């Protein structure tokens, strides 16, 4: 399958989703190659680019399809049904359109002359940015740069310094501020250290920069919207669709287990697997767990979008409604891993060979659950917020600095 089969970029969410579903079987077929390569092969990158996934977050004013959070989730789920690593890189690369809301608007077209350009990077402030005339000198090492090798731009968080001393914006509540810095991929040196249990094809290597000049207009924060205000111009916008990856993998595992169950015969019991009480109840139980986790994500997303698209802000949500999103994201990761693990056990020795997709799904979900979105830091932060205490991981709640 080639991206050339599609005539031009997609114009709406339905077309992006249709294309994502269309390439999912090809991604499943290429999964062993993707994993062995330890980064997405160029052909896979171009397949993804052709679906429009990398442009799906760009606003209509820039010529993008501006998919809602729910529509983004559906696209990511469809891609993950084919391959988790491809979907993971797709949702991260799609951040280009979200970052455009926070960049100086005068440079967006210069930075993204094509809406299909890919942005990777690490938002955590792991670097050091020294203020100089016209901008900053950026240095540091960042971990887990998913999709870094095939990206066009790299955004990285760093703490600010001036004359060697910690620096903060006038009026900042902090003594030491951080920002995001957007640089061309050519300014980054990749460290070949990605050799993991799962999500092998994401190429989530460390990367370094040394004394790279970044003009002021190529820096931004998630607390200052420089584009048109809207539902996607929010601090938490880049986190909303990532849980579509575990959901898509869990759905694929459920479909696979059902297919296996309809073809297997238990000679010891003298009946087909489809007639086995154990198989029936375990499949149904896993479906129930998956459905509840998925609806938690989509329900929170629909409520959030309804408020924001009506001109409201995240502050217009009740504390319980605001907490629902990060909790649903975390639960989607953990529930998906649990479902895959249970199905792996259900299929027994039909799961254990490298040729079985269950083997890869087990490893992929184990690794993706190590992402911060699925960690106890989210529970701690949401719990603190609900109890009126300062949360540690504020951006997961879309809170200001």
What confidence tens digit (pLDDT) does each residue in 250-298 have? 999 999 999 999 998 777 766 788 999 999 999 999 999 999 999 999 9
Q: Where are the alpha helices (DSSP H) in 198-315?
A: 244-261, 277-309
| 8 A C-beta contact, residue 82 and residue 23 | yes
Tokens 């184990």 belong to 366
The proportion of the chain whose per-residue pLDDT surpasses 70, expressed as a percent, equals 98
- CA 340 to chain CA centroid, Å, is 19
Indicate if the pLDDT at residue 376 is higher than 60. yes
The proportion of the chain whose per-residue pLDDT surpasses 90, expressed as a percent, equals 90
Rounded to an integer, the average pLDDT of 162-187 is 91
| 8 A C-beta contact, residue 187 and residue 209 | yes
Does the domain made of 119-220 have the CATH classification 2.40.110.10? yes
| CATH 1.20.140.10 domain span(s) along the chain | 243-397
| CATH 2.40.110.10 domain span(s) along the chain | 119-220
Rounded to an integer, the average pLDDT of 225-247 is 96
Q: Rounded to the nearest 5 degrees, what angle is found at the Cα of 80, between the Cα atoms of 394 and 10?
A: 90
What confidence tens digit (pLDDT) does each residue in 90-146 have? 999 999 999 999 999 999 999 999 999 999 999 999 999 999 999 999 999 999 999
| CATH 1.10.540.10 domain span(s) along the chain | 3-99
- 3-class secondary-structure state, position 326: helix
What confidence tens digit (pLDDT) does each residue in 64-84 have? 999 999 999 999 999 999 999
Confidence label for 5 from pLDDT (cuts 50, 70 and 90): confident
Characterize the bridge pairing of strands 153-162 and 119-132: parallel
Confidence label for 305 from pLDDT (cuts 50, 70 and 90): very high
Which runs of E-coded beta strand occur in 133-177? 135-145, 153-162, 165-166
pLDDT value of position 7: 82
Say which CATH topology domain 243-397 has: Butyryl-CoA Dehydrogenase, subunit A; domain 3 (1.20.140)
Rounded to an integer, the average pLDDT of 229-243 is 96
pTM of the model: 0.96
Does the domain made of 3-99 have the CATH classification 3.90.600.10? no
pLDDT value of position 4: 56
The per-residue pLDDT of the chain, averaged, comes to 95
Nearest to 20 by CA among 191, 232, 275, 244: 244
User: How does DSSP classify residue 101?
Assistant: T
Characterize the bridge pairing of strands 219-220 and 178-184: antiparallel
What confidence tens digit (pLDDT) does each residue in 164-173 have? 999 988 878 8
């Amino acid at each position: 399958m080639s991206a050339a089969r599609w005539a031009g970029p997609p114009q709406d969410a339905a077309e992006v989703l249709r294309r994502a579903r269309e390439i999912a079987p090809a991604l499943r077929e290429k999964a062993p190659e993707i994993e062995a390569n330890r980064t997405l092969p160029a052909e896979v990158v171009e397949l993804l680019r052709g679906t429009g996934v990398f442009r799906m977050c760009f606003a209509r004013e820039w010529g993008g399809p501006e998919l809602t959070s729910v529509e983004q989730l559906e696209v990511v789920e469809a891609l993950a049904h084919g391959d988790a690593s491809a979907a993971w890189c797709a949702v991260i690369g799609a951040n280009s359109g979200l970052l455009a809301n926070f960049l100086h608007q005068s440079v967006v077209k210069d930075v993204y002359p094509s809406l299909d350009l890919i942005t990777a990077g690490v938002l955590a402030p792991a670097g050091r940015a020294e203020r100089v005339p016209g901008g900053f000198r950026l240095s540091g090492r960042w971990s887990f740069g998913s999709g870094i090798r095939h990206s066009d731009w790299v955004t990285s968080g760093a703490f600010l310094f001036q004359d060697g001393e910690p620096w903060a914006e006038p009026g900042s509540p902090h003594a030491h501020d951080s920002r995001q810095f957007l640089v061309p991929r050519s300014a980054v040196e990749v460290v070949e250290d990605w050799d993991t249990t799962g999500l092998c094809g994401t190429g989530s290597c460390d990367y370094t920069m040394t004394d790279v000049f970044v003009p002021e207009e190529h820096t931004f924060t998630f607390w200052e919207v420089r584009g048109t205000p809207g539902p996607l111009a929010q601090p938490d916008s880049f986190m909303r669709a990532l849980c579509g990856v575990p959901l898509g993998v869990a759905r694929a595992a459920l479909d696979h287990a059902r297919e296996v169950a309809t073809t297997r015969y238990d000679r010891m019991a003298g009946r087909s697997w489809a007639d086995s009480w154990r198989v029936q109840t375990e499949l149904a139980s896993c479906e129930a767990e998956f459905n509840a986790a998925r609806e938690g994500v989509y329900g929170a997303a629909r409520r959030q979008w309804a408020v924001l698209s009506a001109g409201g802000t995240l502050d217009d949500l009740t504390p319980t409604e605001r907490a629902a999103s990060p909790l649903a994201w975390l639960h989607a990761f953990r529930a998906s891993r649990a479902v895959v693990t249970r199905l792996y056990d259900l299929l027994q020795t039909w799961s254990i060979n490298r040729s079985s997709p269950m083997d890869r799904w087990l490893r992929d979900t184990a690794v993706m659950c190590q992402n911060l979105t699925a960690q106890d830091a989210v529970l701690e932060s949401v719990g603190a917020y609900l109890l009126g205490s300062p949360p540690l991981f504020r951006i997961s709640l879309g809170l200001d600095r």
